[in-house]
Structure formats: structure tokens, C-alpha cells
Structure 1
């Protein structure tokens, strides 16, 4: 499946052709950060992954730049991530959210990752303009104005490390492939209701940010299972 995604960039409009989407996980740059994320997920009933770092294939049609994301049920969770893709031989980065079904994740993470839309911003930056200060970039997720995730990218694998890892397991062709980076520590859980998410990639050196706002709207089953 191939989809096209439009972005604004500092150099003008960009239309990316995407035929492969991967969500990485457990991508902390140190073992301590990875172990902390594993323990965080264990508390939610999610077991240790079969491989660290981990990769999950995502249906490209789940990419969304909408300001509204509908989900089934009340048990989904956002994860702010940087998103890397290559178009026309050049790498770009934007911000995204790996919204995931938390109940299914405890049973089958790969399926859980494909039960929700993957929100991405409408703006992207060329990666080559960020390499010399990449570690100083920051990711933030707020839920109804409350900061749930925040941290510098020095905590996570760099885009080059991420692409090298992906190439070793999904082939060397980065053109047309979009990679969600994995996430950082979550502080609390979002309310089980309709809520506004704001995901941000901030560059304190060039004093600019990519911001995407979207509302998560849960749909409830009409005839829920009994018992």
C-alpha cells in the first residue's frame, strides 16, 4: 500500500510517497532507559519484547494528519515520537504519536499498534540541518494541557542509529519508508475520555517547533460483551 503525505518545510511544500511504515520500540540510548520503559509497560501487563530494540510494521493507510482521531474504546494511549522519512534521497524529520490500544498490547503488540491511527504533523524539517545539535532537540506530549512526556533526544537512538538498525532487519531501501522512533517515559495516564493531545518537536538552537494538535475521540461498543 502506498500513500502520499504533504508537508510544509523551510524550503517549501513537500509531498512524500510512503509505502512502508515501521514503529520502533525500546530505543533508549542506554540500557537503563530501556529497562525503565520495560518496567513501565510491565505495570500495564505488557511483557518483555522478543527483541530489543523492537520493530513493528504499521499499515501505511493509518497515517493521519487530521485534528481528530477516533479510537474504539477507552483504553488507548499516545506516545510522542520523532518520525524520520526519506524523500528524493533526502532525510526529513517530523513529530508523531504512536497511539496504541493498551489492552491488546498486553496480548499482541504488533496488532495493538495497528488498531489506531498514527498522527503526524503537517510540517517537516530536513535532517541535515539538525545533525550538529540533534541531542538538544526536545519532544513533548501534553494531554488536556498536562505534560505527560518531555525530554531531550539525547535519551534516544539517533536517526542514523535508527536507520542502521532498521536497514539490518527491513532492508537497506530507506526511500519511501517512514520510521517512528520509539518513545520516552510517560508520566501518568491520559483520562479515559475525549481529550486534546499536543505533540511537539522543539529545536532550542534554531528556536522553532513543529506542533500538532489532535483530539482523541473514543467510540463505545453498541453491544459490549457481557461479563
Structure 2
């Protein structure tokens, strides 16, 4: 079964735009789980423009499904993750001021760095995932670095899906086969939505997890959060 992890960064962004605690990030996380989400994803950035350090500690004790923290592995981030001990940490190559995670790691160039960081998390018993693109060499070096999983950066798939779904999915299918052959788990995320998710799932049914935030929270404005989560779950079961 492919799990749905809901990224709640956008909820925190809305809260921070006004100050106070509306919407309540902790309550939204609880509701996502109650409505059927298999996990919660957050990305605490250095400037705290959405998820804050306080949110990280507030969320940890209340999450009953799976907690995934993603971010660039600076020393501060590493220490935060080690203190909270989520179920999974996803490493992304973002600069501090980057708007969104829109590129994968060069796992060959950063092999030594990634190996050191992954070893620290693996020793702590935290499952590791590395955000990468579909390049064969990058996948192989992610495995060499010691990643438990990789998360495929799916924006190229989402961009090309409306005009040619088969061509859009092809490199991701091949990448997914390689990931499986190397014994790693497989996650996917970025710009997945109600239109393109089911096609990807049907072609890569061994996906372990998809992490979806922007599209899901946007859909919830129209459908409501409960209905939206149910619709995304349907995409991963049909």
C-alpha cells in the first residue's frame, strides 16, 4: 500500500501571515490523521516562514501515524531531528532562502557529506530518504551513501503529464525499477495532485509513500479537508 503523507507547511504559512494560532497546525495534523492520512510531513526552514521549531516539538507527541521531517542537513537541522526522532528524515539540497524544493541532490558530488549525515541518522534509528531526480547515477550513489529510501522529485512528471502521460511517467518508472533493484524504499513528491497521482501509482504500485502539500491544501479550500484526503487516498487504491 502506498501511504499518503500530508505536508502541512501551507497551513503554517497561512497562520504566520496573520500571527496568532489560526489555523491551528497541531489540530490540522490531528484532523489529517483522523480523516485517513497515513503520515504528516513538515519542512522547518531556517527563517521559520512556515513550520517553526516550536511546531516540530508540539507535533511530535501527538502524531500517531508517521512523522516525516524534511530539510537541508545543516548542523541545526540535524540536531533538531535527532532530538525529536521522527520516523523518517528526508534530506533536500535547499539553500536557506529557497522558495520550494525544486531539485534533487547530486549524490555523487556530495557523496562523503551525505554518507556522514545518513550514518548519523541511521545510527539514531531514524529512517532516511534522499530527494533526487531520475538520473541513474544519482540513484546508485544514493544507495552507496546508505540511504534507506529515495524520494523522486516529480515536478517534471507533473509538468508533462497533461500532454503525454506515458512519456512523462517513463523516466520515473525506470528510476523506480532501479531503486527497487538496489533494495531501497521509494517515495515521491512535488506537484502531485488529483489529476496525475493515480497514473503514477498505477505504473509504480510499489511506491512506499507520496508526500503532498500544496495541491492537497489548495483542493481542501474547495472540497474540505476530509473529502480531499479521501480523494487522494482513492488515487492510491484504484
TM-score interval, smaller chain: under 0.3
Q: Name whichever structure is richer in strand by fraction.
A: 1
TM-score normalized by structure 2?
Answer: 0.24
